[in-house]
Structure 1
Amino acid sequence: MMRRRLPIGLYALLLLVAAGCIGYLATRHARTFDWSAGDRASLSAPTRAVLQKLHGPVQIVSYAAPGGALRPTIAAFLQRYEAVKPDLSVRFVDPDANPAAMRAAGIEVAGEMVLRYDGREEHVRELSEDALTNALERLARGGDRVVAFVTGDGERRPDGTAGADLGLFIKPLAARGVRAVPLNFSQVGQVPQGTQLVVLASPQSTLPQAAVKALVDYVQGGGNLLWLSDPGAPHPELDPLARALGVQRLPGLLVDGQGAALGLKDPRVVALGSYPPTAITQGLVQTTVFPQVQALASTSDTQWSAKPLLRSSPQSWTELQPIDEQHPSTIRFDPDKGELRGPLDFGYALSRLSPSPDKNEQRAVVIGDGDFLSNAVLGQAGNRTLGERVFEWLLGDDALIGVDRAAAPDRMVRLSSGGLTAMAAVFMIGLPLLLLLLGVGIAWRRRRR
């Protein structure tokens, strides 16, 4: 009997020693492991990228009363940020101690956080990673980035809800410090000072000469520009802007015979799964979809460095003939009519030394399709990702390019009534019965000894 008890006691002693060693090491070497799907229990890649952009201490003051679960919940939530950025400090203030001071500080809800960085501050009233990270990104930007959208000539509206508008794309950017403002050249003669980017999104009517001149002057003065040019109306009045950028718009509609292999029945829809190497497309593996595309070409008589951004397949061409809406797949390539065989570029990333003394580099992007960012098409594959990369590059936020902002996988478990019944039977009847049978079996074996 003693020989049997000795190994058991030794095993227990070794187990206690091992537990003590683990506890000792845990107090001195903190390690966390996230095995959740998409690492959703850890800070996301966009959050870590934003924290890396904050070169200096960040102070977070939370107005949560002592006692209760709110203050510990906020502290535990912010520990993940402190682990990534050691110079991020957290302080709690009791809002009941001085209500007048709380009202003067603009505190509206219990637990509200005030973020301070480099003399600026942001308020966060929602305890979520998206809300806090968006506030940190606004601090990193140094204020709102003003993006002016040309209006008054049928362009896509940044706040519109129609299928052709860009409201669904712009709204998340607004939460991250991108402020979209209208720019109507019938009301102003030039691009206002302080504008970081001008967007010309698919005008439907002819732009006045004064508007074109203002855009050309803005580009020649060093301003950044995003031009979404759709096929159809040629808009010859925009030729001076195209010459200023060193870009030529090719006639016809770019069609792609490769779409059939991807399940696309309409050759007017161009789908891309690979991209020319640029700072915008580096690491981009998502498929993007472009409903109607105008091919572009780059001229070499400018100071711009033009890098192809979007390129069609070798099975594509510029269709110059009208396309039958009922049978679009009946079109054929006809070089005798001046149609050009692909691959053809329909997007360019342009950069050059800025003529303005206020910045080093000037950037512009020209894309021969505006539908890919529209409300109707934005949900297709990687369209939003590409659009965000374009904006981040144009606004100079290179550290955020390529950061995947994909949402965490769905954590909802949806079961039918039959599935719920089966699960209840397993846990309420099957599992207790199994444990009972195991207990009876163990007792029977001990009695036989």
Structure 2
Amino acid sequence: RYGSNALILILAFVGIVFVANYLAFNNPKDLADMTEDKQNTLSPEMVTALQNLPAKLSATGYFSPQTPRDTAQQLLGNMKTNSQGNFDFHFVDPVANPLDAKNAGVTGDGKIVLEMNGRKEIAGYADESELLRAMNRLLNPEARTVYFLTGHGERDINGSGQTGMSRALETLQNKNYTVKTLNLVAENRVPDDARTVIIAGPMQPLTPNEVGLLNNYVLHGGSLVVMADPLPLTDLGDQPDPLTESLGRVWGIRLRNDFVVDTTSTTIQNAIGSVYNRSHPITNAVTLLTIFPLARSIEISTQPSEGISLTSLVETDPNSQAWGETDFSALKQSGASVALDPATDTPGPLTLAAAGENATTGGRVAVFGNSIFASDDGFDAYGNGDLFVNAVDWAAGNDAAVDITIHPPTQRTFLPPGGLKWLAILLGSVCILPGIVLGAGIAAWVSRKRRG
């Protein structure tokens, strides 16, 4: 009799679980988000956008087996549930299907391609705000032209290796940017369609006239992405550098004449960026380290001009042994040892990238003390490519396309119990609870013994 009852209870339990899962799978809208901070609930902006799609929207997630897709699966599933049948998705392994990834313009792992009416946009990571920005670009197509400055030995967008930026060019084009080059000596003006001007590692100084043209462009709402290498890597020598002087004077962003040494790196000349400003669009979603080979440090003014706000975007780890070295001769000598000299060097943590925005004019600048990180040799290393593209997006104004309600995760801190609490837990788990179970067993045994 007891065995039959147990079997019936087990079958009933299994049946209830099966029916509950079946109903949940077929009625996902009736599910309740029980997380404290509603991390499994889409924002109102995303739900509105999905329910007002003018055409079918599809998403393809390019995730290799080495990249977890659980977050993307859940997010895209929620989007499908709320799309009224206008959204669908699937996943592709870019390692097993490299041709599919190449045809889609995907050059990394964990990317999501959105497609509507034959047009595509790439979301760099599985994040609701990133997907909503990509959707917004699909729904509101417009010309987005960026210019790479030429004429001073800058990195070649069509070249390869350390001197080329073909990977950056390819990625920007895959994000629907029109990429052109600009020679200010020949043009004597910044084109009207320029969303931003990128200055990638000039070897020769810009002329005062060129800097004046760029300043005027930014004064009227334009933007710059400046990547300036340490002076020994350029042909500037002791010549004045109107560009960096202007950045310091106008914006309060000063590029130091030093060389970042980071002893935590396998190569001390490779500065490691590990501390990111989470309140800025350029770095709020960068999760991987960034590597800056042969970089110079940046100093940010504590009292910038009126209307200008400055942000330190990327810094070295405050616990690492990193500093700004000014003895360039020691670094050039093979096997030479270097050490921090407090009298001449700048101790860490050091700023490797900074941004400035003028609230009055709308002008923006993003400044990096290195250009190799965005070259073909560095673009695909860790978070380098994402950082560069994020900077271009922000400078071009594409960060403000969507104002999304983010669900900030609740911070939970575990504090180990101490003193009497720890003793109570120990006694309760080791002595009291086992003692109760043992006592109940003995009592039951004695009771049966008396009855029998």
The equivalent residue for 2:226 is: 227
Alignment check: 8 A CA contact 1:255 1:319 kept: no
Matched, 1:273 2:280: no
Paired residue secondary structure (1:316): strand
Amino acid at match of 1:334: D
- Structure 1 residues 171 and 21, CA gap change in structure 2 (3 angstroms): same
- Structure 1 residues 310 and 90, CA gap change in structure 2 (3 angstroms): closer
The equivalent residue for 1:89 is: 86
Amino acid at match of 1:253: F
Matched, 1:330 2:337: yes
TM-score normalised over the length of structure 2: 0.60
Matched, 1:343 2:349: yes
Alignment check: 8 A CA contact 1:200 1:227 kept: yes
Equivalent residues in 2 for 1:179-328, closer than 5 Å: 179-232=178-231, 233=234, 234=236, 236-238=241-243, 239-256=245-262, 259=263, 262-266=264-268, 268-279=269-280, 280-282=282-284, 284-299=286-301, 300-303=303-306, 304-312=308-316, 313=318, 315-325=322-332, 327-328=334-335
Displacement of 1:251 in angstroms is 1.5
Moved more, 169-178 or 276-285: 276-285
Displacement of 1:216 in angstroms is 1.4
The equivalent residue for 1:168 is: 167
Paired residue secondary structure (1:322): helix
Measured in 1, the distance between the counterparts of 2:373 and 2:80 equals: 39
Amino acid at match of 2:291: V
Displacement of 1:320 in angstroms is 3.1
Note the alpha carbon deviations across 1:18-62, whole angstroms, 9 max, x for none.
5995587358623799xxxxxxxxxxx9x9999679487223369
Gaps of 5+ in 1: 34-44, 63-78, 92-113, 356-360, 404-449
- Structure 1 residues 20 and 163, CA gap change in structure 2 (3 angstroms): closer
Paired residue secondary structure (1:225): strand
Moved more, 375-384 or 389-398: 389-398
Equivalent residues in 2 for 1:16-31, closer than 5 Å: 18=16, 21-22=19-20, 25=23, 29-30=27-28
The equivalent residue for 1:59 is: 54
Alignment check: 8 A CA contact 1:271 1:287 kept: yes
Alignment check: 8 A CA contact 2:322 2:349 kept: yes
Measured in 2, the distance between the counterparts of 1:381 and 1:27 equals: 37
Displacement of 1:10 in angstroms is 6.5
Measured in 2, the distance between the counterparts of 1:310 and 1:333 equals: 21
- Structure 1 residues 302 and 289, CA gap change in structure 2 (3 angstroms): same
Equivalent residues in 2 for 1:52-201, closer than 5 Å: 54=49, 57-60=52-55, 80=77, 83=80, 85-86=82-83, 89=86, 122-123=118-119, 136=135, 138-140=137-139, 142-201=141-200
Measured in 2, the distance between the counterparts of 1:389 and 1:246 equals: 22
- Rg (Cα) greater in structure: 1
Gaps of 5+ in 2: 32-39, 58-75, 89-113, 407-452
Measured in 2, the distance between the counterparts of 1:24 and 1:318 equals: 64
Q: Percent identity over the alignment?
A: 21
Displacement of 1:193 in angstroms is 1.3
The equivalent residue for 1:438 is: none
Note the alpha carbon deviations across 1:305-340, whole angstroms, 9 max, x for none.
11212334564133233135453551233345x333
- Structure 1 residues 390 and 243, CA gap change in structure 2 (3 angstroms): same
Amino acid at match of 1:30: P
Alignment check: 8 A CA contact 1:306 1:351 kept: yes
Paired residue secondary structure (1:397): helix
Alignment check: 8 A CA contact 1:150 1:199 kept: yes
The equivalent residue for 1:387 is: 388
TM-score normalised over the length of structure 1: 0.60
Pairwise CA RMSD: 4.5
Measured in 2, the distance between the counterparts of 1:53 and 1:251 equals: 51
Measured in 1, the distance between the counterparts of 2:340 and 2:21 equals: 73
Displacement of 1:287 in angstroms is 1.5
Measured in 2, the distance between the counterparts of 1:327 and 1:400 equals: 52
